[in-house]
Every structure is written in C-alpha cells, then in structure tokens.
Structure 1
Amino acid sequence: MYSFKNDYSEGAHPRILNALIESNLEQTAGYGEDCYTTKAVEILKEKIKCENVDIHFISGGTQTNLIAISAFLRPHEAAIAANTGHIFVHETGAIEATGHKVISTKVNDGKLTVENIKAVLEEHTDEHMVKPKLVYISDSTEIGTIYKKVELEAISAFCRENNLILFVDGARLGSALSCEENDLELSDLARLTDAFYIGGTKNGALLGEALVICKDSLKEDFRFHIKQKGALLAKGKVLGIQFLELFKDNLYFDLASHANNMAKLLNKEIKKMGYSFLTESPSNQIFPILPNTIIKKLEEKYSFTIWSKVDNNNTVIRLVTSWATKQDAVKDFIEDLKILTK
C-alpha cells in the first residue's frame, strides 16, 4: 500500500542521514551550542537577509507553536486563528493547556483576512473577556492554500496598527514558498512578521523546525521557555546538522519543489477526469471530491485522509505528496482512478 496520507512518512533525505553519520562520534557542546547549530543559524540569517533575528531549533511543529505562543502572551491574552488552523483543530488543545484561549473565526479558504481579525477585536471589548493579542496564520494553510505578499502585507500592517503579534506557522513553508503562484520570500517574512518558523519535519528532515523571532521584545529569555517546556535537546546538534544540510545550498527548496510537482501532476490529471476540489491548492496538499464507492476501491491500494463529507455519495479526501513521493506511484494512482471512473 502506498501512502499519500502525509509528508513525513519517510525518514529523511540521504544527505541528512549521511551528515548525521559523519558527525556521529564527534564530541560537541550540548543544547544547541555546538558548531553545527551555530553555522546553521548563520546560514539561515543569510537566507533570510536579516541579522537582527534570533533563531531557535525545536523538535516539532506543535512544540514550536505552544512554546512560542505561551512565551509571547501574557496570562489573559489569546490567539486568533482560522477555524481550520492547526492550533485550533489538530493540536489537542496544546495552546489552551498553556492557559491561552484560541479564538477561531470562520474562513472559506484557510486564510485569515484583516476583516476576520477586526471582527474578533470588535467582539472582545473589555476585561471580562480574554484579550486578543496574537494572530496565528499558516503558510501553506491546513487546506493547501498560500498567502500572497499583498495579503501578508495587509495583515502585517493591521497587526502593527493594533499592537498585535503576527506569528506564522511554517510547518509547510517550503511548499508554500516553492509554489509557482508564490511571490513571498524568506526576507519578506522577516520584514512582515514578529515570528515565524521554517518547517523541516515535513520537508526532508528527520525532525525539527527553525523558529525565527524578529521582534526584539519577544526574544528575551526564550531559551528559558524552551527548557521549561522540555524541548531544549541535550543533543541539539541533531537539529543543527539537519538545517545546515538543508540550507547550505538549495536542497530545502528542491525537496519542496518535488513535493509540489507531484501534487500538481495529481491535481491536473484528476481535474481532467471531471472531478472538483474543496480548494484550489497550489501546494503539496490537494483535496479532490470523489464518489464514496471509488474511495473504498482506492483504499485497497492507497492510504490517504478522509477529510469531510460532501453528501451521502461524495467525500473530500486529502492527498499529500512529499520530498520523496515516487512519480511512478503518482502515475499508478492516476491510472487506477481513471479505471474506476469509467
């Protein structure tokens, strides 16, 4: 059975494994104070085109979200997220467990707008309610859409006008920035956000995210927060080595481009068969709407996520491609779907 269920089923790109093996018996400092992590930070700052950022490597996306958001907010403050947002739907109340409410607002395409944020602010008017303080967005979003520069600029300007913290979940940032439709760069994120992270777990690394803190007031004592939440790894070099390997050349974006290309092939051919989609996704997650009878047949050979029910006969499924997705497997899926569609 071939999996289109997620983009972290495979282990890691061979270059990363080789780098870990080559450094395996080398003695280095712990807790991310090793030479590899230092070099990885230097390279990322070059890629971001900004020296005035703090970069921390954390093992996973949920850990990064909960550590960052709980560190950035005071006890009475809350985060604003789309109703599809990862911190609202798929993190088992991790943010709420740190004492901070997630205020959700309904969106159609996974993306927050200034109007969404403004509506939340207008509803929370006094000290009898939590105070909305942090705006959480994902790029790409949980349903595969991406933010264009004009959209991020508008949100950024509104957040600054209203003293809100703008935080970008970049678990699939590689896919977002590698899309043909994308017009954002890493340097734009450093310019327009207060903090964001660059996801490695879902783009060729064994594990790890690179949290970039741009706003000076959010930087102080952040390693204390990482340690207190149990995420300051003694063998921190394991994370540093991986990001050094991903960013010393264009490997990170090459891997993301492959994932996008595989999804694009699926998208194109499924559309040719006459099927519609939940969203117009240019990234490595696509959401075709298929008859239930066909889905049951496909499940005999492939694994994927059942996303949402459309009606009694049709369902949205999620297909996710990765840096390691085999083109032959994509072609097999397409051919099997063609046969079942006839």
Structure 2
Amino acid sequence: MYSFKNDYGEGAHPRILNALMETNLVQEDGYGEDSFSKNASELIKAKLGRNDVDVHLLSGGTQTNLIAISAFLRPHEAAIAATTGHIATHETGAIEATGHKVITVETADGKLTPDLVKAVADGHTDEHMVKPKLVYISNSTEIGSIYSKKELQDLRGVCESRGFILFMDGARLGSALCSEENDLNLEDLPGLVDAFYIGGTKNGALLGEALVICRERLKDDFRYHMKQKGALLAKGRLLGIQFQELFRDGLFFELAEHANRMAGLIRNALEKEDTRFLTHSPSNQLFPILSNKLIAELQKKYAFLIWEKVDEHSSAVRFVTSWATKEEAVNELIEDFKRMKL
C-alpha cells in the first residue's frame, strides 16, 4: 500500500536527521535562545532580504495559527477566512477557543478577494457584532490553489484601507512558491502581508513552522504568548537545527519542487485521460473526480482521501505528493489508473 494521503507521512529528509545526530551532544541554551535557532532566523531574514522582521519557530500549523491570531487580535475582534480555510475546517475550533470568532466566506477557488473582504466588513457595523480585524489566507490553499502577486497586492490594499491585518498560513508555502504558475518570490511576502509562516512539517522537516512577523506593532510580547500557550520549547534547538538545514542552501525549495514535479506527472497523465478535476490546483495537491468503482479499485493498492461526493456515481479524491514521493510509485499509480479505468 503506497500512500498519497498527505505530505507529512514520511519522517524527515536525511540531511536533517544527520544534522540532528551530529549536533546531539552539543550543549546549548534553551527556549529558542540556542545558536541553531538564532542562525536559522538569520538565514531566513537573509533570504527575505529583511532584517526588520521577527522570526519565531513553532512546532505545528494549528499551534502557529492559534497563537498568532490570538496575539494579534483584541478580545472582541474576529478573523475572516474562506469556508475551506484550515482555521475554519480542520483545527477543532482552536481559534474560537481563544475567544475569537472566525467569519467564513464562500469562495470559488479557496481564495479570498477584496470584494469578499469588503462584504464582510460592510456587514459588521457596530459594537453589537464582532469586529473583523484579521484576514486569514493560505498559500497554497486547502484545495491546492495559489495566490498571484497581483491578488496579494489587491488584498493588501483593502486590508490597509480597512485597518485589517493580513495573515498568511504557509503550511504549504514551499509548494506554492515552486509552482510553475507562481509569480511570487519569498522575499516579496514581507511587503505584501503583515505576518506569515514558512511550513517545515509538510516540506521535509520532522516538525516545525517559522513564523515571520513583519508589522512592528504585532511583534510586542510575542514570546510571552508562545510561553503561555506551550509553544516555547525547552529544546528549541530541535526546530532551529531543522530550519538551519532547510535554509543554509536551497534544500527547502528543492524538496518543494520535487513534490510539485511528482504531482505534475499525475496531473498530466490524468488530463490526457480526460479526467475532470474538482478545482484547479497547480501545487502538490490534486483533486480528480473519479468513478466510485475506480476509487474502490485504486484503494486496494493506494491510500488517498475521498474529498467529497460529486454525484451518485462519482467522487472527488485528493492525491498529495511529498518531498519524498517516489517517482516509481507515481508511475505505477498512473499505469494502474489507465488499466483500471478501462
């Protein structure tokens, strides 16, 4: 059984494991004050071309979202997200548990637009309602779409005009930036969003996300928020070593490029077979619509998610490729798809 269920099913890239082993007996300070974490922060700042941002290393995406959003918002303020947004669908009410409402918006492609944000803002008029304050987006989104530079510039514009915070979930940022359809560079992001994070968990690390805070007023006391919510790890070095390895050269991008290339092989093969897709997803997540009979046959050999029912006879499934997906497995899936479809 070969799995295409997610991009965190494997452990970590061997270079990361080797780095952890080689530094295992080096004594370091705790709570992110170790030399590895400090160096990782400097490497990320250098890649961004910005020394005026704060970088914080946290263990996972849900933890990063809930700490960042709850730190950035006052008690009566709320976040705006697409209905498919991770904070709205797959975080067990983590944001709401911190006291902040998530206002969801239906979208065609998982992406928020200025008009959608304006509609929410205009619908919340006084102190009898929560006050929208933060716009939450993901890149890539939960359904595999990516934001263009122009789309982010337009969102930035409406957020500035309304006094909103623009926050980007980057759990799969590597895949988005390495997509063939992408026109963004990592160094563009500090000028477009107020805070974002770089996902390591889904791109070759054992665990870890690197939160980058760009707006000055959002930086205050952030380590206090991390400590209060259990995110300030005594052995913060475990995160620092991993991000140091990912960013000391081009490993972070190499791993994302591999995941995208594997997804591209599957996408191209299925398109040649006239397969319909639930959504356009130029990243490492694919959502083909298959007959239920074909799905049952494929499930005998491969693991993947059934995303949603399309009609009585077909469903959309999700195939996800990772930094470690084997090309032989991809080719075998393609051949089995062609054979079983007949």
Which TM bucket (shorter chain)? over 0.9
Q: Does 1:39 align with 2:54?
A: no
What is the letter of the counterpart of residue 10 of structure 1?
E
- Return the letter of the residue paired with 1:76: H
Where 2:246 maps in the other structure, the secondary structure is helix
Deviation at 1:185, TM superposition (A): 1.1
Secondary structure of 1:137's match? strand
Name the structure 2 match of 1:170. 170
Which stretch shows the higher mean deviation, 214-223 or 270-279?
Answer: 270-279
What displacement does 1:77 show?
A: 0.2
Q: Which secondary structure does the structure 2 equivalent of 1:306 belong to?
A: strand
Distance of 1:304 and 1:149 partners within structure 2: 31
TM superposition shift of 1:273: 1.1
Deviations 1:143-194 (A, max 9, x none): 0000000000000111011100000000000000001111111121111111
1:67 aligned counterpart, secondary structure: helix
In the other structure, the counterpart of 1:252 is 252
After TM superposition, list the pairs within 5 Å mapping 1:299-338 onto structure 2.
Answer: 299-338=299-338
Secondary structure in 1 matching 2:268? helix
Q: CA deviation at 1:69?
A: 0.1
Deviation at 1:274, TM superposition (A): 1.3
The question of 1:147 aligning with 2:147 is answered yes
2:18 pairs with 1:18? yes
CA distance in 1, matches of 2:57, 2:278: 34
Q: Which residue is equivalent to 1:81?
A: 81
- Unaligned 5+ segments in structure 1 are none
After TM superposition, give the deviation of residue 55 of structure 1 in Å.
0.3
Q: Map of 1:46-125 to 2, 5 A cutoff?
A: 46-125=46-125
For the residue of structure 2 that corresponds to 1:50, the secondary structure is coil
For residues 246 and 329 of structure 1, the distance between their equivalents in structure 2, rounded to whole angstroms, comes to 25
**In the aligned structure 1, how far is the partner of 2:274 from the partner of 2:200?**
35
Q: Distance in 2 between matches of 1:171 and 1:75?
A: 26
Kindly state the Cα deviation for residue 317 of structure 1 after the two structures are TM-superposed: 0.1
Cα deviation, 1:12-59, whole Å, max 9, x if unaligned, reads: 000000000000011100001001111111110000111100000000
Equivalent in the alignment of 1:233: 233
- Displacement of 1:271: 1.0
CA–CA separation in structure 2 for the residues paired with 1:222 and 1:286: 36
CA distance in 2, matches of 1:186, 1:266: 27
Q: Distance in 2 between matches of 1:52 and 1:335?
A: 51
* In 2: Cα distance, 1:274 partner to 1:135 partner: 37
RMSD of equivalent CA atoms: 0.5
CA distance in 1, matches of 2:208, 2:134: 23
Scaled by the length of structure 2, the TM-score of the pair is: 1.00
Q: Give the counterpart letter for 1:289 in structure 2.
A: I
- Amino acid aligned to 2:215: K
Shift of 1:202: 0.1
Question: Percent of aligned pairs with the same residue?
Answer: 66
Task: Give the number of aligned pairs.
Answer: 342
Which secondary structure state, in structure 2, belongs to the residue aligned with residue 167 of structure 1? Answer: strand
Q: Can you list the C-alpha shifts for 1:279-330, whole angstroms capped at 9, x where unaligned?
A: 1111000000000000011111100011001000000000000000000000
Matched, 1:276 2:276: yes
Equivalent residue, structure 2, for 1:200: 200
Deviations 1:240-298 (A, max 9, x none): 00000000000000000000000000000011111100111110000000000000111
- The residue type paired with residue 218 of structure 1 is L
In 2: Cα distance, 1:157 partner to 1:198 partner: 23
3-state DSSP of counterpart to 1:233: coil
Q: TM-score, normalised by structure 1?
A: 1.00
| SS, match of residue 177 in structure 2 | helix
Q: 1:112: Cα distance to partner?
A: 0.3
One-letter code aligned to 2:137: I
